[in-house]
Structure 1
C-alpha cells in the first residue's frame, strides 16, 4: 500500500521525482517500469502522417498537452481519443496513435498526468508512479476527456460527429466512464480496464463499449467481468465483452512480457470493426 504524506495525497515533490518541465512527448521512449529486454515492439512508419503536439483548453491554469497522429492532407476524418496506462505518454502509446492514423483516424493521446510535471516514462519504481496516478481524480480526468472531444469537434480535419475512445489498463476504465459522461463519444474500446464500481453504473452508458479482457489477468477478477456482462444485459446496453482464455493483463502491450501477439491482433481487428459499426468511421 502506498503511504500518503499529505491529507490530500502524496505530491511529486514529496518523492523527489525528476520533473519533466518542458521535455517534449516526442522525446519519451518506452516506459522503463514496464519494459521487457526481450520485447520486440511494433514500430509504425510515419510516412503519410502528420505528427504534432497540441495544447487543449481545459479550464486549468496550464492547458492539457496531447500527442496527435493523423492522415496527412486535407479532409475530415473520424477521431479516436487514446488513453494511456499508468505510465503516461510513451513510445507504445504514440505508436498506437500512429497505427490508428494509418487506419484513417485522427488519434489523440492526452497527457492526463501533466499537472504533476513528472516524467512518468522515465521512472522504474511503482511506488513513485502510483501516487502521481492517484492524483488524477475521476472528475478531473473525465473533464479532460470532455475537453479533448470538444477540441476535436472544432478541428478542420475531424468529423465532429465521429469521435471514439480507446484505452489500456488505467485507460480502459476511463473509456467506460467516458461512454457514460461525455455525450460526444460515439463508441469505446476498453482494453483490460478495471471494472470496480462500473457495473452499478451500466445504465448510464449512452455509447456502446467493447471490453477486451484476459482470463489470466491477476488484477481483474473474472467475477467482475461476469458482473459487468450481467449489468449490461440487464440495462439493455449494446456493449460487448470478449475474454481471451490464455491472455494476462496487458496482452496488447508489445513492449512488455505480457504481450500476446495473436490476442493483440484479434483485439485490434475487433476494435476497428467496432468503431466502424458504431459511427466512428
Structure 2
C-alpha cells in the first residue's frame, strides 16, 4: 500500500487526519507507520496514544553534526544533498525500536526536532526524511503516513519523491484554497497523485469549498466534519478517536486505496 504525504497550512488538521486514518487502518487489521517529519510538532504522539521512541531518526543516525558531515561531503563531491543516510531496501519489520514505537499494528516515529536556539535550519531533517522514504519498502497490507510541516517546503526538499501520493488538508479558509492550487502544481511536477480532504467543515462551508475546488479542478477525496469533542480532547492533550467524528475516513481510505491499486 502507499506511502502518503499529508500536507497543508498550519492548523488545518494534518495531524488529526493522520491520527484518524492510522486508527482506521489498524482496525482493518493492516499495519501502519506514522512518520512525524514536522520539526516543531510536539503533540502527535499524544493524539495517536503512542509515546515517542527513545531517539528520533536524526539521533539514531548520529545527530545533526553527523548528518551534516555526510551531506557536506556529498555537496563537495558535486552532489545535491542526496546522501545515503539510511540502509537500502528497509522494511517496517526491520526498523529499530530505538526510534520506532509500536502499539499493536500502529507505529510512530519522529524524524527530528529543533531542540536549541541557534541550532540551525531544518534542512538536514528534510534530507533524512527524503532518504528514509526512498529506502523504505512497504508490503501490500502496510501503509506509511507522513505528517509534514506547514506549507510546501517539503516539496523543495524533495521529500515527495519517496512517496506515492500527496493528500492536502483544506480547512475553511481562502489561504487553504490558494495553497491547494500551489500544492497540486508541485505534486504534478513531482509526478505524484494529489487530492484534498476538507476538514473542520459544517454543511455550509463544505458546499462552498466543494464548489470552489471543483472549479479549480482540485480532486476531493473526502471530508471530516467539525467536532467540538475532538477539539476539546486535543486541547487537553488526549488521544483522539475516530468515534468523535461522523464518517469520512472510510471514504478517504477507499479512494486512496482504489487509486493506488489502479496505478
- With normalisation by structure 1, the TM-score equals 0.40
The structure whose RCO (Cα within 8 Å, separation 6+) is larger is: 2
- Which structure dedicates a bigger proportion of its chain to helix? 2
- With normalisation by structure 2, the TM-score equals 0.41
